[in-house]
Amino acid sequence: MSGRRRKRNAGIWVAASALVLTSGVQAWGDAPTRSSGIQPKVVTMKNGLKLLLVERHEDPTVAAGMFYDVGAVNDPAGQSGIAHLFEHMLFKGTHIIGTTNYEQEQSHIRKQDELRDQMNTEMDRMRDKKRLGEIDDVLDPAQWSPEYVEMNARYTKMVESHREFVKNNELFNLYTTNGGAGLNAGTMHDLTMYFVQLPANKLELFFWLESDRMVNGVMREFYVERDNVREERRLRTESTPTGKYDEAFEALFWQSHPYGTPVLGWSSEVESITRDDVRKFYQEYYTPNNCILVLVGDFKTENVLALAEQYFARIPKGEVPLRPVITEEPPPIAERRFYAEADTNPRVRMRFHTVAIGHKDEAVLDVIGELLSGKTGRLYKRLVTEEEAALGQPRAGNQGRKYAGYFEISVTVKEDRTPEELEQFVIAELGKLQHGEITDYELEKVKNQVLSSSVRRLQSNFGLMFQLGLFDTWHDWTYINESPERMLAVTADDIHRVMAKYFDPKTRTVAIYRTKEGGGPVEAVDPELAKLLEDVPPEAHGQIKAAIKQMQSSDDIKQLREQSGMMEQALASGQVPEDRQAMLAYFVKIMKTRAEALEASKKESD
Amino acid sequence: MKLKTMILALPAWLGLFGAVAMAKAPVPAHPEKINYPAFTYELPPASQFRAVLSNGLVVYIAEDRLFPTFDMSVSLRVGGAIDPEGKAGLAALMGEQIRDGGTKSLTPEELDEKLDFLAASARTSIGDTRGRSGLSCLSKDVDAALALWVEMMRYPRFDEDRLRLAKERRLQNIKRRNDSTNSIQGIEWGFLMNGEDHFSNRYPSSASISGITRDDLAAFHHRFIHPGNMVIAVAGDFDRAVMLKKLEQVFAGWPIGETGPTGFDAPTHKPKPGVYVLHKDDVNQGRVTIGHKSIVRGGPDEFALQVMQGILGATGFRSRLVARVRSNEGLAYNTGARYEQGVNYAGDFTAWFQSKSNSCAYATQIVLEEINRMRDEKVSQQDVDDAVAYVVESFPQRFPNKMAILRTYLADEHTGRDPKFWQSYVDNVKRVTPDDVLRVAKKYLHPDELVILAVGDASAMRAGGHDKAPDLRLDGFGKVTELPLRDPDTLTR
């Protein structure tokens, strides 16, 4: 997509689309039933900067965003986390913003860099020592070499003397004292975005600051900010109950694709990114032809076009063509499993590789997600209401990213049940979606929800700005209108086909989280069984539990069906003593559930 | 960017480009030189939206016709603060089960199906001092959705199976209160500020949840859930007069009963200054909160305190705490301060950060220095101007749509704040001077009363060892009390 944008360079303005309306939203009829969509004005400047503009005059504000087509997938080898770290650096100012005297400041930064180079060399030596077991933490000041301690002290003094040239957080201050709200930025695997909501009369400030920092950024206070980014990683990942495990699960799921590397980077790599590294990254990716500017709100398009010309036309197009990520996931060759013991409720996460955003099967996968989710979805009914095995609402849905996608089902497990048991129920439900009936009622319900959300998603200026920017960076802004339309056209046959294509249980990746109890996993007993066991002599408990375990782990569908059939016959014949009937019925249920899951999994792979 | 490109681009940066490209305005040298068009914002007064139904129910209503939607937000005068003795969690459970437990004529599954089929969202939740309910749907479905909402609110079934599942879920989640430092810190801070006996620290336990019955829910519902304890806001694609008539109809015949809680007891506990440390395994970052009790809102210094908190720690990167702890020192991703002016009783003054274990002591020292500096030094006019602008310039953005305006007035109606508060808000904030800030800092910040709570790797946090302050330890800030984690169920130790 970025390649396509770069080709549009004839004339001062190249209208990429004829979809030009003075108001972004069409009027609704008396009995509106579906969204007629959103039609932004689309303009591509000579230097490749693309503008998506939606005028709405109800409230005197404008939601504004810059979406750069760069993210963690573009982190060079050994520099994971650089796209995110760089996003922080773009708040540190430019030649003009954030400095009291850039001329003098430059020599300070140069001297800092020279010393840092020496410190990096010494740090590499300390890493060697760590590898040899002579020290165990290169970040612990108590373990630093005397040379490093000395240089670090000098560096600290340099940073302090540099401070007289730094206007602390001037960019932030300019935005917020002019009414900028929600000012922030975000880095994802496929995107980096900078956004703010401004009072309508202050929109020029956005053009000034964003055009300035597209090319004039100064990487000041770099190493201090790198420390803050490390703190962000501790906060979000390392010191949360499941953060470390969630990260490891991503790395397990993505075998070759850079999606498996965390946006925040691996700590050892983030800690060693240098100021020069981020300068290179900046020059490569922060160009007008790799960016989309999105505005939604109270402005006049003609004024905005003049502002764009005034501020952005001066920035030359990037010369180095950017290539998309070419790495593809190899088809999964085996089930992958992951066990974690953490301070959390027991949980199962099951994932399948699916498709990138905009793929022709995506809408079907989205409908499948809807059929499974929510209070009246299939998973809730089966896992929460019928089996009473899940805690709270199970979640299921497809996530199509720019280059690839996945479908995930996530279920919190009741403490008296096992995650493995839930896993079998989920597989059984997936099998039913592939082979069983999907009623018109279910599909109509999903479609009503699609219609409703196709309207709701357009309501807030901020929300619409995000969607236009995200979708156009990953695929095309028209996705916002087309994806509901495509979902409305999905049939039961589509669902059967897509289930068969993507949901082979043999290719699943599963994470099982058990509650850390200071010891091994706790043996969970189904409460129904626990109640039945009350009437059984204690010496027989072990035997019964072992038999159930065998049933649950059997792979022999034929035998499971035969055995459960025989037991059912026995029950029907009245030959079973009354005090054994309930237990026998329980065995039948266990075997049938297991057989059902196996059949589903077999059909998947056929 | 290559050198050649850089050089070609230079004229633009020197401001010459404007002369070359015709009819293009030059770029101002600095954003401060931009001339902005004039703009004034006036928040429409509450009276423009306020209506009263014949049963006395107050409705804030606004037509908002850009999209074919309907939204309703309801404030409920009820709360966990009045949970009966031994039944902590009753109000919250009842709130949830109004939505989850079906209605007189509909099983829970039928109610779920009907709402989902309409793609309507009906919500109810009850907190300590206030309950909330809401309904959202497409405007074409408003009659059906409203009818379902009223049935659910007025005639809940409180289905036994759904109640049992909800109780089981709570019983399991109760055990997870010590999972994260975030949760541990939130609970412990409440106890340190308001004491063991205050209602704000009355948490459901396995005993109290187990003891709650369907009859308890029904009785509590009967007492408090009726139009007499509601304030309503509706916005969307409708005609105001038609909608008011509709609301008259749906609430008709719903009797008004006992008035819900209108005031809440202030805590009698006096927090004990000092350093409190709680150990959590397997974390490499400490979570530190520093503060003391504050005051109730509505006093003569309300706006000066807002500006003061802004300068210290509530104006994002412009604030002193973020500038020092984060931007200058690289000690924390998240830091700040808030002087909360309570609605019913005194709130808390808090400053906070999360930092790697060995730098918690160093960051604490910086926060304490900045708190003292607010009291010792008059802030500059620029500090005040920026903190005022931060609040004043973004004022219109507090109200991004009609419902946001209505919700503000709805909350004020519920808590009894003068509806004209927001009309004079901007002027009141603008009047604050550096002298005011110094005066309120001296009056309302009490360094000798500070409680410091640190949750994380206890020994590493206490030991300190940051390279800039290797000898600084948490123990240097007062008597350290190392507290064991509370029992997650009873929250006693």
Nearest CA-CA distance, residue A36 and chain B, Å? 11
> Within a domain: residue B143?
yes
The chain-wide mean pLDDT, for chain A, equals 89
pLDDT at A248: 97
Do residues B185 and B292 share a domain? no
**Chain A residues touching B3 at Cβ < 8 A:** none
> Within a domain: residue B493?
no
Instruction: Look at strands A509-515 and A347-353 and give their pairing.
Output: antiparallel
Nearest CA-CA distance, residue B206 and chain A, Å? 15
> Within a domain: residue B256?
no
**Mean pLDDT score, B348-373:** 98
What pLDDT band is residue A91 in, cutting at 50, 70 and 90?
very high
**Mean pLDDT score, A399-425:** 96
> Within a domain: residue B263?
no
pLDDT at B49: 98
Kindly report, residue by residue over B219-241, the tens digit of the pLDDT. 999 999 999 999 999 999 999 99
Which DSSP symbol is given to B431? T
Instruction: Look at strands A405-412 and A50-55 and give their pairing.
Output: unpaired
**Mean pLDDT score, B398-421:** 94
* Cα separation, B416 vs B409, whole angstroms: 10
**Beta carbons of A319 and B1 less than 8 Å apart:** yes
**Mean pLDDT score, A118-135:** 96
Residues forming beta bridges with residue B285, ordered by sequence position: B356
* Cα separation, A91 vs A73, whole angstroms: 22
* Confidence check: pLDDT of A585 > 90: no
Query: Which one of B113, B140, B465 has the shortest CB-CB distance to A32?
Result: B140
What angle separates helix A419-435 from helix A541-553, to the nearest 10 degrees?
A: 40
**Chain B residues touching A452 at Cβ < 8 A:** 119, 137-138
* Cα separation, A42 vs A19, whole angstroms: 8
Kindly report, residue by residue over B442-457, the tens digit of the pLDDT. 999 999 999 999 999 9
Q: How far, CA to CA in Å, does A579 sit from each of A271, A551, A582, A584, A585?
A: 67, 22, 7, 10, 11
pLDDT at A563: 85
The residue with greater pLDDT, B184 or A58, is: B184
Instruction: State the residue range of the domain holding B234.
Output: 49-251
Q: How many residues would you count in chain A?
A: 606
Do residues B312 and B448 share a domain? yes
Query: Which one of A141, A172, A215 has the shortest CB-CB distance to B316?
Result: A172
pLDDT at A13: 27
Q: What percent of chain A has pLDDT over 70?
A: 90
Q: Which two tokens stand for residue A207?
A: 């053009």
A-B CB pairs within 8 A amount to: 255
Least confident window among A18-22, B270-274, B381-385: A18-22
DSSP codes joined into one string, B337-396: EEE--BSSS--EEEEEEEEEGGGHHHHHHHHHHHHHHHHHSPPPHHHHHHHHHHHHTTGG
**Chain A residues touching B2 at Cβ < 8 A:** 319
* Cα separation, B460 vs A311, whole angstroms: 51
Do residues B230 and B279 share a domain? no
Which DSSP symbol is given to A413? B
Test mutation, B118, B179, B324, B380, chain A, max A CBs within 10 A: B179
**Beta carbons of A32 and B37 less than 8 Å apart:** no
pLDDT at A590: 87
Kindly report, residue by residue over B464-485, the tens digit of the pLDDT. 999 899 999 999 999 999 999 9
Q: Which two tokens stand for residue A485?
A: 């339309």
Nearest of A144, A115, A109, A147 to residue A127 by alpha carbon:
A144
* Cα separation, A90 vs B325, whole angstroms: 19
* Cα separation, B278 vs B455, whole angstroms: 5
* Cα separation, A110 vs A410, whole angstroms: 50
Looking at residue A476, its amino acid is D
Name every residue whose Cβ is closer than 8 Å to that of residue B161 and which is 6 or more positions away in sequence.
Answer: B108
Q: How many residues would you count in chain B?
A: 493
Q: What does the domain layout of chain A look like in residue ranges?
A: 1-26+35-99+168-300, 100-165, 336-513, 525-605
pLDDT at A311: 98
Q: Three-state SS string across B384-426, please?
A: HHHHHHHHHCCHHHHCCCHHHHHHHHHHHHHHCCCCCCCCCHH
Kindly report, residue by residue over B365-409, the tens digit of the pLDDT. 999 999 999 999 999 999 999 999 999 999 998 998 999 999 999
* Cα separation, A126 vs A268, whole angstroms: 13
What pLDDT band is residue A517 in, cutting at 50, 70 and 90?
confident
**Beta carbons of B330 and A141 less than 8 Å apart:** no
* Confidence check: pLDDT of A27 > 50: no
Kindly report, residue by residue over B121-155, the tens digit of the pLDDT. 999 999 999 999 999 999 999 999 999 999 999 99
Q: Strands, DSSP E only, in B87-220? A: 121-126, 131-138
Q: What percent of chain B has pLDDT over 70?
A: 95
**Mean pLDDT score, A317-337:** 92
Test mutation, A205, A388, A452, A513, chain B, max B CBs within 10 A: A452
Q: Report helix, strand or coil for A221.
A: coil
Q: Strands, DSSP E only, in B255-324? A: 274-279, 285-293
Alpha-helical (H) ranges within A354-478 are: 362-372, 378-379, 419-435, 440-456, 461-474
Name every residue whose Cβ is closer than 8 Å to that of residue A3 and which is 6 or more positions away in sequence.
Answer: A321, A322, A324
- B301 burial via Cβ count (<10 Å: 0-12, 13-18, 19+): middle
* Cα separation, B260 vs B131, whole angstroms: 10
pLDDT at A43: 98
Test mutation, A314, A388, A412, A513, chain B, max B CBs within 10 A: A314
Nearest CA-CA distance, residue B281 and chain A, Å? 10
* Confidence check: pLDDT of B353 > 80: yes
**Beta carbons of A91 and B17 less than 8 Å apart:** no
**Mean pLDDT score, A381-389:** 96
* Radius of gyration (C-alpha) of chain B in whole angstroms: 27
**Beta carbons of A316 and B38 less than 8 Å apart:** no
Kindly report, residue by residue over B26-56, the tens digit of the pLDDT. 999 999 999 999 988 899 999 999 999 999 9
* Cα separation, A400 vs A122, whole angstroms: 44
Which DSSP symbol is given to A261? S
**Beta carbons of A179 and B176 less than 8 Å apart:** no
Q: Do domains A1-26+35-99+168-300 and A336-513 have the same CATH topology?
A: yes
Q: Strands, DSSP E only, in B30-88? A: 50-52, 58-63, 69-76
The residue with greater pLDDT, A194 or B24, is: A194
> Within a domain: residue B450?
yes
H or E element: which one contains A67?
A: strand A61-68
Helix, strand, coil percentages in chain A from 3-state DSSP, rounded to 5: 50, 15, 35
Query: Which one of B36, B116, B181 has the shortest CB-CB distance to A374?
Result: B116
Closest residue in chain B to residue A232, using alpha carbons only: B333
* Cα separation, B440 vs B436, whole angstroms: 6
Instruction: Look at strands A291-297 and A191-199 and give their pairing.
Output: unpaired
The chain-wide mean pLDDT, for chain B, equals 94
Residues forming beta bridges with residue A512, ordered by sequence position: A339, A348
Which DSSP symbol is given to B86? T
* Cα separation, A280 vs A82, whole angstroms: 11
* Confidence check: pLDDT of A12 > 80: no
* Cα separation, B126 vs B220, whole angstroms: 12
The residue with greater pLDDT, A523 or A243, is: A243
**Mean pLDDT score, B65-83:** 96
* Confidence check: pLDDT of B356 > 60: yes
**Chain A residues touching B358 at Cβ < 8 A:** 140
Closest residue in chain A to residue B66, using alpha carbons only: A27
> Within a domain: residue B20?
no
What pLDDT band is residue A349 in, cutting at 50, 70 and 90?
very high
Query: Which one of B17, B30, B181 has the shortest CB-CB distance to A96?
Result: B30
Q: Among residues B205, B236, B251, which one ends one of the domains?
A: B251
Q: Which two tokens stand for residue A417?
A: 């049940």
What pLDDT band is residue B20 in, cutting at 50, 70 and 90?
very low
* Confidence check: pLDDT of B160 > 90: yes
pLDDT at A596: 86
* Radius of gyration (C-alpha) of chain A in whole angstroms: 29
**Mean pLDDT score, B17-24:** 45
> Within a domain: residue B475?
yes
pLDDT at A576: 82
pLDDT at A538: 60
Q: Among residues B188, B220, B251, which one ends one of the domains?
A: B251
Q: Which two tokens stand for residue A196?
A: 């703010």
Nearest CA-CA distance, residue A517 and chain B, Å? 11
Angle of CA points B395, B401, B405, to nearest 5°: 65
**Beta carbons of A234 and B285 less than 8 Å apart:** yes
Kindly report, residue by residue over A269-293, the tens digit of the pLDDT. 999 999 999 999 999 999 999 999 9
Kindly report, residue by residue over B319-332, the tens digit of the pLDDT. 999 999 999 999 99
Do residues B349 and B403 share a domain? yes
Q: How many CB atoms lie within 10 A of CB A113?
A: 15
**Beta carbons of A177 and B466 less than 8 Å apart:** no
Backbone angles phi, psi at B110, to 5 degrees: -65, -40
**What CATH code is carried by the domain that includes residue B280?**
3.30.830.10
**Beta carbons of A173 and B386 less than 8 Å apart:** yes
Instruction: Look at strands B451-456 and B274-279 and give their pairing.
Output: parallel
Q: How far, CA to CA in Å, does A477 sit from each of A16, A193, A298, A481, B102?
A: 12, 15, 20, 8, 41
* Confidence check: pLDDT of A499 > 50: yes
**Mean pLDDT score, A395-419:** 96
Q: Which two tokens stand for residue B244?
A: 């008011």
**Mean pLDDT score, A309-336:** 94
Test mutation, B3, B66, B334, chain A, max A CBs within 10 A: B66
Question: Tell me, which fold does domain A1-26+35-99+168-300 have in CATH?
Answer: Cytochrome Bc1 Complex; Chain A, domain 1 (3.30.830)
Do residues B76 and B201 share a domain? yes
Looking at residue B221, its amino acid is H
Q: What percent of chain A has pLDDT over 90?
A: 76
Q: Provide the number of structural domains found in chain B.
A: 2
pLDDT at B378: 98
Name every residue whose Cβ is closer than 8 Å to that of residue A580 and which is 6 or more positions away in sequence.
Answer: none
* Confidence check: pLDDT of A33 > 50: no
The answer to whether the CB of A391 falls within 8 A of the CB of A413 is yes
**Chain B residues touching A179 at Cβ < 8 A:** 389, 393-397
Kindly report, residue by residue over A524-565, the tens digit of the pLDDT. 567 788 778 877 766 566 667 767 877 877 888 888 888 888
Looking at residue B234, its amino acid is V
What pLDDT band is residue B313 in, cutting at 50, 70 and 90?
very high
Which DSSP symbol is given to A263? T
Backbone angles phi, psi at B212, to 5 degrees: -80, 130
Query: Which one of A169, A183, A314 has the shortest CB-CB distance to B323?
Result: A169
* Cα separation, A259 vs A71, whole angstroms: 10
Kindly report, residue by residue over B238-255, the tens digit of the pLDDT. 999 999 999 999 999 999
Query: Which one of A156, A202, A240 has the shortest CB-CB distance to B180?
Result: A240
Closest residue in chain A to residue B140, using alpha carbons only: A31
Range A336-513: architecture per CATH: 2-Layer Sandwich (3.30)
* Cα separation, A187 vs B481, whole angstroms: 41
Q: Which two tokens stand for residue A446?
A: 């999903």
> Within a domain: residue B14?
no
